């Protein structure tokens, strides 16, 4: 029985298979992942995953056909484009649906994923700087990777050392030196790195901006109506209702503008907390 900590975490038992020029495979309970050199990583998880030769927890041989097991596939394509910069493409298809898939638009799921990517991005940026200063062959002196869940990281570093000399060969296009650290707003920019390229997030960004502007216009219009209407033409209760509606629209517009900026532009949270 595995040990669970107070926050619900438990050990992740990863076993990396033989590393060769084509990459490597990592096996874990109810799933496996594979690094396909040089830029593709994918993993599939769920019940019924074969984790060793000839074994599966969903073996239906000699039995009545069963409903396909639920499985989730995670695919990453990460392509270095210049020192300190990479293009990441990710997709996570499933062979089943949950109720949220039918109700929530795709951009809402992206907001959660962007939080994870932002954290990873900042960590990798700092780590890359430190590894470059110490030298690629000394990465283990800087990174503490004591558990089996770190097996993929260790395996990739081994592959990179064996088949690429520990770092990317940029040829004559780049010197290999990292650019200066940009401002945080630029480093973790979401609009140009994701929103403009994502149809769902781009549509949500434009739609929510239009709504924010509409709320402001509606707020000013209500104030103008209250100011231009003679007191005898409208009851005090109606006047108060219009004022309250104007205030709510204005506050809602400000809150929505902040939400849009934090969600689709830049989320400046403290990664150390």
- What pLDDT was estimated at residue 19? 92
Q: Check pLDDT > 80 for residue 114.
A: yes
When pLDDT is averaged across residues 171-188 and rounded to a whole number, the result is 85
**Angle at 220 (CA atoms; ends 215, 224), nearest 5 degrees:** 145
In this structure, is the dihedral angle defined by the CA atoms of residues 28, 34, 35 and 41, taken in order, positive or negative? negative
Higher pLDDT, 67 or 159: 159
3-state secondary structure of 52: strand
pLDDT class for 132, splitting at 50, 70, 90?
Answer: confident
Higher pLDDT, 50 or 20: 20
Structural element, H or E, at residue 45? strand 40-46
When pLDDT is averaged across residues 143-163 and rounded to a whole number, the result is 88
All residues at 6 or more sequence positions from 213 whose CB lies less than 8 Å from its CB, including other chains: 253
Cα-to-chain-centroid distance, residue 112: 6
- Ordered by start, the domain boundaries in the chain are 15-48+68-181, 197-264
Torsional class of 88: left (φ above 0), alpha (ψ -120 to 50), beta (otherwise) = beta
When pLDDT is averaged across residues 227-248 and rounded to a whole number, the result is 85
- What pLDDT was estimated at residue 4? 54
Q: Check pLDDT > 80 for residue 166.
A: yes
**Angle at 121 (CA atoms; ends 118, 124), nearest 5 degrees:** 150
Whose CA is closest to 263, among 45, 108, 51, 44? 108
* Mean pLDDT rounded to a whole number for the chain: 83
Q: Check pLDDT > 50 for residue 1.
A: no
Residue with tokens 């770092």: 167
Distance CA 211, CA 188 (A): 25
pLDDT class for 217, splitting at 50, 70, 90?
Answer: very high
Whose CA is closest to 126, among 134, 202, 34? 134
When pLDDT is averaged across residues 115-131 and rounded to a whole number, the result is 83
Q: Check pLDDT > 60 for residue 204.
A: yes
Q: Check pLDDT > 50 for residue 218.
A: yes
List Cβ<8 Å contacts ≥24 apart for 91-99: 94/70, 95/68, 95/70, 95/71, 96/70
Beta bridge partners of 170: none
Distance CA 189, CA 118 (A): 9
The C-alpha R_g of the chain, in whole angstroms, comes to: 26
- What pLDDT was estimated at residue 34? 93
3-state secondary structure of 42: strand
- What pLDDT was estimated at residue 95? 78
Q: Check pLDDT > 90 for residue 68.
A: no
Q: What percent of the chain has pLDDT over 90?
A: 32
In this structure, is the dihedral angle defined by the CA atoms of residues 147, 148, 152 and 157, taken in order, positive or negative? positive
Distance CA 116, CA 54 (A): 36
* Total number of residues shown for the chain: 273
The encoded tokens of residue 157 equal 């570093």
pLDDT digits (tens, 9 = 90+) for 5-18: 556 666 777 888 88
When pLDDT is averaged across residues 62-90 and rounded to a whole number, the result is 81
- What pLDDT was estimated at residue 6? 52
pLDDT class for 187, splitting at 50, 70, 90?
Answer: confident
Distance CA 19, CA 264 (A): 39
- What pLDDT was estimated at residue 49? 55
């Amino acid at each position: 029985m595995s040990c669970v900590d107070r926050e619900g975490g438990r050990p992740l038992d990863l076993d990396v298979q033989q590393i060769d020029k084509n990459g490597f495979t990592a096996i874990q309970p109810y799933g496996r992942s594979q690094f396909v050199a040089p830029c593709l990583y994918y993993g599939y998880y769920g019940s019924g995953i074969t984790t060793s030769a000839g074994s599966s927890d969903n073996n239906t041989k000699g039995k009545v056909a069963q409903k396909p097991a639920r499985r989730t596939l995670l695919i990453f394509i990460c392509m270095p484009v210049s020192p300190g910069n990479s293009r990441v493409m990710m997709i996570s298809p499933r062979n089943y649906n949950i109720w949220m898939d039918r109700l929530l638009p795709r951009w809402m799921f992206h907001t959660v994923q962007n939080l994870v990517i932002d954290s990873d991005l900042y960590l990798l940026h700092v780590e890359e700087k430190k590894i470059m200063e110490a030298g690629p062959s000394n990465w283990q002196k800087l990174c503490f990777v004591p558990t089996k869940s770190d097996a993929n990281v260790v395996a990739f570093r081994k592959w990179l050392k064996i088949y690429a000399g520990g770092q990317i060969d940029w040829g004559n296009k780049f010197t290999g030196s990292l650019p200066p650290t940009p401002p945080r707003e630029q480093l973790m920019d979401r609009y140009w790195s994701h929103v403009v390229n994502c149809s769902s997030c781009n549509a949500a960004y434009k739609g929510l901006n239009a709504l924010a502007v509409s709320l402001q216009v509606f707020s000013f219009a209500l104030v103008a109506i209250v100011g231009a209407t003679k007191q005898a033409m409208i009851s005090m209760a109606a006047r108060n209702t219009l004022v309250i509606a104007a205030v709510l629209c204005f506050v809602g517009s400000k809150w929505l503008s902040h939400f849009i900026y934090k969600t689709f532009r830049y989320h400046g949270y403290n990664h150390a907390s």
